[in-house]
Structure 1
Amino acid sequence: MKIAGIEKNSFVDYPRHLSCVVFTQGCNMNCFYCHNKPLIGNGEIRNISCKEVLDFLLKRQKFIDAVVISGGEPTMQTDLEDFIKDVKKMSFKVKLDTNGTNPKVIENLISKELIDYVAMDIKAPFNRYEEFCGVKTDINCIKESIGILMEGNVDYEFRTTLAIGLGLADILDICKEIKGAKSYILQRCRAFDGGVSNPISITDVIKVIGKMVRNVDTRGIEISA
């Protein structure tokens, strides 16, 4: 496992749980709005050993109850399963953050009951993926991952970061692909100069898509009445 960093305590990354977030190194996308750019490639960045992380978690058992594995893209890690097994031995719940490009990995982890929650990013409407991800993406893999989550028995959420260029019609197109989903989260995207990147009206979005998915929520976004 290539581990680039950890966030020792998080109240927001795993719903209803106090968690530690483990950030893996490497990603197969290059989203222009990504705030974890140093984690995309394999350049010079601190490499934390699995043992160091596991030793830390062992000491934190009384204070946290979950571990979030994020990135980068965790499903690229060849020893992800072994790492999660070690985490589960300490009785932590495990949440996986993923872009959905490796459905077989997701399916395998679910079938072995190694993950308790999955947050899958849906970057854009399928016909605009390359524009937002910066790379060619196998949309069939994205669709397969969506199906695995919606038809399976693991808790999950889909989420979209409201990057500049995404409009109401785009969000509507995304929701058509996940119609009936348990949870859909709209996340704030801030420009690197500190300004808000996307002027889209969240209130209008929720009014339109509220009947398409079972629950719509926001993260880092204030909703006006």
Structure 2
Amino acid sequence: MSPDAPARAPLRIAGFVPFSTVDRPGRLVATAFTQGCPWRCTYCHNPSLIDPRRRPGATWSEVLELLRKRRSLLDGLVISGGEPTLQPGLADACRDVRDLGLEVGVHSGGPWPTRLARVLPLVDWVGLDIKAVPDRYELVTGAAPSGRAAWESARLVVESGVDHEIRTTVDPTVHTREDVLAIGARLTALGVRRWVLQEARPDGARAGWVRRLDRRRLSDVLREDDLPGVERRVGV
């Protein structure tokens, strides 16, 4: 780096998975998990990633070196979280991955639409979580207002033309059947091309929420014939 070049913001990496077939559908990717998230979602199964002050588990340089060694085996890298758009170094990290000839995917909850908009030209795919209709977002995230930001992020993703998948994790302690159908109607009106329903998992979640969940499943919220054609991911 030139002495006159601006200092790069670090990407705080909590962990790294060298091979994944689930973090970006249809691709073999590595996944880097960033540290820090502004929300406290009811069903969060990795709460250790929430605190941005927690000591990172790896450096970005270490991640890049692993990618260099494996790039002939991989389609790309997915940057997940936590919440990647919390990281000031996200755009530079996306450029680094593309410089290796790999595709870039980003998982986001969309809490900062402006930040997400800055990286959309640098990514090949976005997995965006939409958690509720706007006025019920706080019931899932514990943060108000969070729904307006997330839905603005969804609009930006759709209008960008970037390949995407919108995911909704159905929490039986919060969501009703009517809630999920309303999310679907709103996403359809927005022009979303791919929407996936995910089953909330008790693994790693907070004990109080697991007790409230009481083993309820996605099938306890939606009927089998609801939302035909929408993929349901259960037991993963």
Q: TM-score over 0.5 for the alignment?
A: yes
From 170, 186, 195, the counterpart of 1:177: 186
Residue in 1 that maps onto 2:217 = 199
Q: Which shows bigger deviation, 160-169 or 72-81?
A: 160-169
Match of 1:95 in 2: 105
1:81 to partner: Cα distance: 0.4
Deviations 1:139-179 (A, max 9, x none): 33222111112222111111111223222111011112211
Can you give the 5+ residue segments of structure 1 that lack an aligned partner in the other structure? none
Among 148, 158, 161, the residue aligned to 1:150: 158
CA distance in 1, matches of 2:100, 2:124: 14
1:208 aligns with 2:218: no
Count of aligned positions: 216
Counterpart pick for 1:187 among 190, 194, 198: 198
Instruction: Name which of structure 1's ranges 177-186 and 32-41 shifts more when overlaid on structure 2.
Output: 177-186
2:231 alignment partner, one of 213, 217, 224? 217
Secondary structure of 1:178's counterpart equals helix
1:104 corresponding residue in structure 2: 114
2:22 is matched with: 12
- Residues of 2 paired with 1:107 and 1:157: CA distance? 16
**Which residue identity is paired with 1:174?**
I
Q: Measure, in 2, the Cα distance between the counterparts of 1:189 and 1:48.
A: 28
Partners of 1:14 and 1:188 lie apart in 2 by: 17
Say whether the 8 Å CA contact 1:190–1:197 is kept in structure 2: no
Partners of 2:134 and 2:148 within 8 A in 1: no
- The answer to whether the 8 A contact 1:27-1:41 is kept is yes
Higher relative contact order (CA 8 A, sep 6+): 2
**1:29 CA displacement:** 0.4
Q: Could you tell me which residue of structure 2 aligns to residue 31 of structure 1? A: 41
Summarize the Cα distance change of 1:158–1:202 in structure 2 as closer, same or farther, 3 Å threshold: farther
- Whether 2:78 is the aligned partner of 1:64: answer no
What amino acid sits opposite 1:181 in the alignment? V
**Within 1, Cα distance between the matches of 2:220 and 2:160?**
29
Alpha-carbon distance change, 64 to 188 in structure 1, aligned in 2, over 3 angstroms? same
Q: Does 1:80 align with 2:98?
A: no
Contact 2:199 2:217 in 1 (8 A): no
Describe the SS at the equivalent of 1:69: strand
TM normalised by structure 2 equals 0.83
- Once the 2 structures are TM-superposed, how far is the Cα of residue 65 of structure 1 from its aligned partner? 1.3
* Structure 1 Cα separation of the partners of residues 234 and 91 of structure 2: 31
Identity in percent: 34
* Aligned position for 2:125: 117
**Change in CA separation of 1:202 and 1:209 when aligned onto 2, cut-off 3 Å:** farther
In 1: Cα distance, 2:144 partner to 2:124 partner: 30
Alpha-carbon RMSD: 2.2
Segment of structure 1 superposing worse, 96-105 or 20-29: 96-105
Gaps of 5+ in 2: 1-10
Checking the alignment, whether the CA contact within 8 Å between 1:189 and 1:198 is kept in structure 2 is no
Please identify, of 129-138 and 62-71, the stretch whose mean Cα deviation from structure 2 is larger: 129-138
Q: 1:198 to 1:149 in 2, by over 3 A?
A: farther
Rounded Cα–Cα distance in structure 1 between residues aligned with 2:100 and 2:113? 26
